[in-house]
Amino acid sequence: SLTQLPLTLIVAATTKNGIGKSGGLPWPMLKKDMAYFARVTKRVPMPTNTGSVQSDALKEANLSGIRRNVVIMGRKTWDSIPPKFRPLKDRTHIVISTQDRSKLQPIPDDVVVASDISSGLRSLEVLVKEGKALPAGRAFVIGGSTIYRSALDLSQTKRILLTRVFKEYDCDTFFPVGLGTPNGLSEWKLVAHSELEQFVGEAVEEGIVSQDIDGGSIDLEFELYERK
């Protein structure tokens, strides 16, 4: 059921795990990464039909948008998304807040507001059963640090899609787990690039890639970690 849906964290972080600064991202728009974020969080996987052929009905159901992925975020991350981009197109939103919806800045009615991830997924499950929301494809946790930490405590959190940003921007918010420091103690394992591509459903540039930004370039790397 929805409450047991595997969760994937998606994050961009510096080598010191910096993810945020003054309520926003630490860096100017990284077009390659933001486009990757948008494509990956929108793409709904086809159900795999073991040992058989995919029925045209199932293909049709997914191509025609019968399911939508879910993005789960904290209230501060909701606030950080430029109003012209939120709610994010073609995705179902769960916003986590300790405050009641009535006490927050107006949030659209089709955005689920909940006090934690599990109750948000339960609320969405009710809406789906009432025919008020589309069935879920994948679920992505999109931050910030408080919500990443909560998600990491859930056993249903299976993957982390990390974009490493190889420049030390000044940050005041950090991803709560060290990744890519090769010690055997981490419960998170970097998986092969081919597995990243298989998961996201598209070809992804491998290794360190350059992102042009005004008056220079910065290096990025797209990685997938899985729980051991």
Q: Residue numbers of the site for ligand FOL (CB under 6 A)? A: 10-12, 25, 33-34, 37-38, 77, 80-82, 85, 88-89, 142-143, 163
Q: What is the Cα–Cα distance from 140 to 41, expressed in whole angstroms?
A: 7
Cβ nearer to ligand FOL, comparing 12 with 112: 12
Cβ nearer to ligand FOL, comparing 120 with 143: 143
CB of 21 to ligand FOL, least distance (A): 12
Cβ nearer to ligand FOL, comparing 61 with 154: 154
Cβ nearer to ligand FOL, comparing 60 with 205: 205
CB of 224 to ligand FOL, least distance (A): 12
From the list 225, 71, 77, the residue with the least C-alpha distance to 161 is 225
CB of 27 to ligand FOL, least distance (A): 8
Residue 130 in tokens: 């009432």
**Alpha-helical runs (H) found in the chain:** 31-42, 56-63, 75-80, 117-129, 145-152, 193-200
CB of 54 to ligand FOL, least distance (A): 28
Cβ nearer to ligand FOL, comparing 22 with 55: 22
Q: What is the Cα–Cα distance from 123 to 3, expressed in whole angstroms?
A: 9
Beta strand spans in the chain (E): 7-14, 18-20, 68-74, 92-96, 112-114, 136-141, 157-165, 173-174, 188-190, 209-213, 216-227
From the list 55, 109, 63, the residue with the least C-alpha distance to 87 is 109
CB of 86 to ligand FOL, least distance (A): 7
